[in-house]
Amino acid sequence: MTTAERDWASFAEPDGDGRLAMELAVDGIHCAACMTRIEHSLAAVPGVERARVNLSNRRVSVSWRPDETDGSAIVSTLADIGYDARPFVRGQIDDSFRRERNALLRALAVAGFAAMNVMLFSVSIWSGNATDITPETRLLFHWISALIALPAAAYAGQTFYRSAFGALRHGRVNMDVPIALGVILALGLSLYGTITASADTYFESALMLLFFLLLGRVLDHAMRRRTRTFAENLAALRADTAVVIDSDGTLKERPVNEVPSGALVRVAPGDRVPVDGVVVEGRSEIDQSLVTGETILQSISVGAPVYAGTLNGEGALTVRVEAAGAGTLLDEVNRLLDRAMTARSRSVALADRVARYYAPFVHAAAFLTFLGWLALGAGVERSLVVAITVLIITCPCALALAVPAVQVTAAGAFFRNRLLLHSGDALERLAGVDTVVFDKTGTLTTPSAQIANLSELPETLVAAARALAAGSRHPVSVAISAGPKPSSVASDLRETTGFGVEGLIDGCPSRLGAPAFVGVEAEAAALAARYPDATLVGVRVEGQAPAVLAVQQVLRSDAAQTVAALKGRGFAITILSGDRVPAVGRVAEALGVIDWRAGLKPADKIAALEAMQGEGRRVLMVGDGLNDAPALAAAHVSISPVTAVDVSQAAADVVFLGDRLAPVPMALAIGRRARRLMGENLGFALVYNVFAVPIAVTGHVTPLIAALAMSASSILVTANSLRAQKVPREMQVASPQSSSSASIGETVVAT
């Protein structure tokens, strides 16, 4: 069978001059040296027009002349110098993020420029008011300020006006409503003051407010963009492609979302099944632990349904693609997912909850101020001016920064701890968690099987087993051969389907496979009692005593410590698994978890979660399988490992990288700390209002006081938020060693 050619039309884009261009996600770019190396090597390929590394998002953009070279040459050049590169599918990169960032930066620049220049005039006026400025000069300065401030504020404040208008139109109030109102009123009052030649204007306050708020938005955007970029790279490196059999019999590798229903897809032995469909040719064993949580291999043949995400065994399959039909597992998952997602939106973010009370409060205060001054005999104009200054000074700059600033800093702390935060408000929800629910397969255990009794086996036999297993694509063989390259050399390998592999190890005849094939039934029976869930594999090298390997999914290296640490912190722990009762029971026993349930379907998991939440518990769900996706969406907050299926990662609030479970308690700790800092920030903002509102209500606010008070409170809140950077010690699980296996993880740490 020839290997499939990538269908480059799906990846590369013509750039106008007859050249093709594409972006690649490259794993392992760490430093400037990598950058130079990649650029030099690619430039040396004939036909490559331009190659540029982007070190911030770890991508390479290449353009080449299609008549001289092609994409495969570029990818193989990168592979030759040690970088795993995968092209992005056209349209996979979301460019709207970049455009949005640029729009925010432009607004920030305009607001900054205008604020500084208006401040130049305002400071002159304030010092002039105290000394001998002439009314004519002051009026000139006010007019110049107005000419700068009005267009600048109209341009820079667009985000806020739009959002406030959108909220009002739907009959809601968000934090942007008092902001937009404050800015517009400050500008209006100042323009009125300029026209009537009054001494006070608030142009600089309005502009500085916009500048600070935009700064917050830019940082917030940068945080979300970094997570997003990283997720896009992971998706590309995971290569969601399928090998399609064209009508003329040629094989083409295409992005999964471009494979039409009804197409024939070839699944090589040992590959993940890329699509849902029905087997039309071939027979094999399928590992569907990622889909159902079940760890036992299932035999399939013609006519059997297969699901995306399952791992194919030793036989090549041809699968006819089917869209998710009614009644399939995927259909059920999708249906439950929709329902669970709508339930999630019930939880209202902290900032919106505050806005709901804050906006009516300040508007009422301003209205009462107006009535009060009117009742005390001040004219309508004076009363109106005082009422508007109340609105200006209570414009919630600090309040609007209080939550996002903490979210940005905490997301940075997440990133450094190998956690990707999908939504900022997940932090608040993490802080409230009192119950942690784990899935078993792939979450508490490692995503792939390992040799469980490795420490009891002689090293030479393990090396022999690895070398023999390397010749087979059976899932069990793949699990055995994983890891460092074996020291033994295997030759003359022959595979007997359903039994095992035989060959020469360093010249000695050897066998690896089912106990009966190797002749170690007695040893296997003895081991079966100790490892009831394991697949037992015999290995024999002539001249040595044979041995039996127990291959099964083992607990993550720090699962026990993590569960113990969580229990020590007072969290209730539950295991909800789709696997069989004995397998789950043994894991629960090993971890000391009393509350566990097995054999659950996706709907059962949701029901269990809803029952817990009905008791008033706030549940953190940690899971990875397709069967966990609805539960992840239904839980108060959810985390999934990076090895999880796409649907689950999309449903989860946080994704963690690496082989260890320690990021889970870390996420909870950072969440709690962030929630506390948000509370402090809101407290600061409240204290600010306690002082500022009486001054405004009594009519003593001057533009100088307004500018000072608003900037000071914003800076204070931002500075306090930076404390979310520090990683709390309390939750750290003692780490045996930092895992270095995942190069993706290193990429994160290096940032």
Partner 1 sequence: MNILLILVPAALLLGLIGLAAFLWSLKSGQYDDLEGAKWRILNDDDLPEDERPEHRDGGSEHETRSHMG
Q: What residues act catalytically?
A: 439
The reply to whether 198 sits near partner 1 by the rule CB under 8 A is no
Q: Which of 403, 348, 397, 96 is nearest to 220 (CA)?
A: 403
Q: Please report how close the Cβ of residue 643 comes to partner 1 at its closest, in angstroms.
A: 23
Angle between helix 176-195 and helix 135-156 axes, rounded to 10 deg: 150
Joined tokens for residue 70: 């092609």
Report the DSSP pairing between strands 547-552 and 535-541: antiparallel
Q: Which stretch binds partner 1 (CB under 8 A): 49-57, 463-471, 558-566, 614-622?
A: 49-57
Q: Least distance in Å: CB of 544 to partner 1?
A: 39
By CB under 8 A, is residue 580 in contact with partner 1? Answer: no
DSSP per residue, 494-545: EEETTTEEEEEETTEEEEEESHHHHT-HHHHHHHHHH-TTSEEEEEEETTS-
The distance of closest approach from Cβ of residue 73 to partner 1 in the complex, given in angstroms and rounded to an integer, is 19
Name the one range near partner 1 by CB under 8 A: 24-32, 165-173, 183-191, 697-705.
Answer: 24-32
Which residue, among 222, 234, 219, 239, has the nearest Cα to 58 in the 3D structure?
234
Number of Cβ atoms within 10 Å of the Cβ of 217: 20
Residue carrying the six token digits 């030479």: 460
Interface positions, 98-157, toward partner 1 (CB under 8 A): 98, 102, 105-106, 109-110, 113, 116-117, 120, 134, 137, 140, 144, 148
# residues contacting partner 1 (CB under 8 A): 32
- Interface residue with partner 1 among 14, 31, 79, 458 (CB under 8 A) is 31
Query: Is residue 443 within 8 Å of 656, Cβ to Cβ?
Result: no
Position 166, amino acid: G
749 touches partner 1 (CB under 8 A)? yes
Tokens of 551: 């291959």
Report yes or no: 632 and 638 within 8 Å, Cβ to Cβ: yes
Closer residue to partner 1 in complex, CB, 54/92: 54
Q: Are 363 and 373 in contact (CB under 8 A)?
A: no
CB neighbours of 208 closer than 8 A, spacing ≥ 6? 115, 119, 707, 710, 711
- Residue from 10, 57, 198, 450 binding partner 1 (CB under 8 A): 57
For partner 1, which is the closer residue by CB, 127 or 137?
137
Taking CB under 8 A as the binding criterion, the range among 33-41, 577-585, 632-640, 677-685 that sits at the site for partner 1 is 33-41
- CA 373 distance to own-chain centroid: 53
| Nearest C-alpha neighbor of 667 from the set 436, 347, 352, 447 | 436
Closer residue to partner 1 in complex, CB, 54/613: 54
The reply to whether 740 sits near partner 1 by the rule CB under 8 A is no
Q: In terms of CB distance, is 28 or 585 closer to partner 1?
A: 28
- Report the residue from 9, 15, 21, 35 that binds partner 1 according to the rule CB under 8 A: 35
Of 287-295, 376-384, 679-687, 742-750, the segment contacting partner 1 by CB under 8 A is 742-750
Burial class (CB in 10 A: 0-12, 13-18, 19+), 18: exposed
* Termini Cα distance of the chain: 42
DSSP state, 498?
A: T
Binding partner 1 (rule: CB under 8 A), the pick from 8, 9, 21, 30 is 30
CA atoms within 13 Å, Cβ hemisphere of 575: 30
Question: What is the closest distance, in whole angstroms, from the C-beta atom of residue 98 to partner 1 in the complex?
Answer: 7
By CB under 8 A, residue 45 contacts partner 1: no
Amino acid 716 reads L
Within 349-388, the residues that bind partner 1 by CB under 8 A are none
> Rule CB under 8 A: is residue 702 a binding residue for partner 1?
no
Task: Identify which of residues 140 and 611 has a Cβ nearer to partner 1 in the complex.
Answer: 140
Work out which of 428, 439, 579, 746 binds partner 1, going by CB under 8 A.
Answer: 746
Note whether 594 binds partner 1 by CB under 8 A. Answer: no
Rounded to whole angstroms, how far apart are CA atoms 109 and 719? 22
Q: Which residues bind partner 1 (CB under 8 A)?
A: 30-37, 40, 53-57, 98, 102, 105-106, 109-110, 113, 116-117, 120, 134, 137, 140, 144, 148, 746, 749-750
